[in-house]
Amino acid sequence: MAATGVIAAIKGLGLQPYEAPAPLPPIEIREIDLIRWLAFTAEGTASRVETSECSC
């Protein structure tokens, strides 16, 4: 059975379940120094890459 092989591989490698880290605290607006975005389009659909930035 395939599941038995997967379990054996997991045990053999010593893999452990993922434990998510504690969430970060919410960001305050005063902590944001720069906002920037960059968009790419598929080749042939646009003649340039568009960017924008804002120092807040």
Counted domains in the chain: 1
pLDDT digits (tens, 9 = 90+) for 21-51: 999 999 998 888 777 777 777 776 655 555 5
When pLDDT is averaged across residues 5-32 and rounded to a whole number, the result is 92
Asked, for residue 11, whether it belongs to a domain, the answer is no
For residue 5, the surrounding DSSP H or E stretch is helix 2-13
CA distance 55 to 53: 7
In a domain, 19, yes or no: no
What's the length of the chain?
A: 56
Examine residue 23 and state whether it is found in any structural domain, yes or no. no
45 within domain boundaries? yes
Q: Give the pLDDT score at 46.
A: 54
- 53 is in which domain, residue-wise? 28-56
Q: Are strands 34-39 and 50-55 parallel, antiparallel or unpaired?
A: antiparallel
Distances (CA, A) of 42 to 8, 36, 38, 39, 45: 44, 20, 14, 10, 6
